[in-house]
């Protein structure tokens, strides 16, 4: 299994709205893609900012390509992301999941 990890930062005042937007876009699209094994969205609020860590789990790199396209290292953004995010990281990270607990079946 492969974990695809993306990080984004919003103002704390926009964090609930962004979470709703993220759920309706990236989370929904990941879950709807064949080969997706689950999605986790983590949030940390500090100093007036909210950092989001988006972790999607995939059965293979081919499955990730179905979601992200051929350049899987590039982040996938949606039209209103620029409205919320303080910056747009160009890339994501991929890790092999070596040990896990509670993964979706």
Q: Decide: pTM greater than 0.85.
A: yes
Three-class SS of residue 7?
Answer: strand
In the chain, how many domains are there?
1
Q: Which domain holds residue 74?
A: 2-96
From 5, 98, 9, 16, select the one nearest 50 (Cα to Cα).
Answer: 9
pLDDT digits (tens, 9 = 90+) for 7-46: 999 999 999 999 999 999 999 999 999 999 999 999 999 9
Residue 74 covered by a domain: yes
Domain of residue 14, CATH code: 3.30.70.100
Residue 31 covered by a domain: yes
Phi, psi of 93 (to 5 degrees): -120, 150
pLDDT digits (tens, 9 = 90+) for 60-100: 999 999 999 999 999 999 999 999 999 999 999 999 999 88
């Amino acid at each position: 299994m492969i974990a695809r990890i993306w990080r984004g930062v919003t103002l704390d005042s926009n964090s609930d709205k962004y979470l709703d937007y993220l759920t309706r876009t990236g989370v929904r699209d990941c879950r709807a893609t064949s080969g997706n094994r689950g999605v986790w969205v983590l949030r940390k609020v500090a100093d007036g900012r909210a950092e989001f860590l988006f972790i999607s789990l995939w059965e293979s790199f081919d499955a990730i390509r179905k979601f992200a396209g051929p350049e899987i290292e590039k982040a996938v953004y949606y039209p209103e992301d620029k409205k919320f995010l303080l910056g747009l990281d160009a890339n994501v990270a991929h890790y092999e999941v070596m040990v896990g607990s509670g993964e979706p079946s």
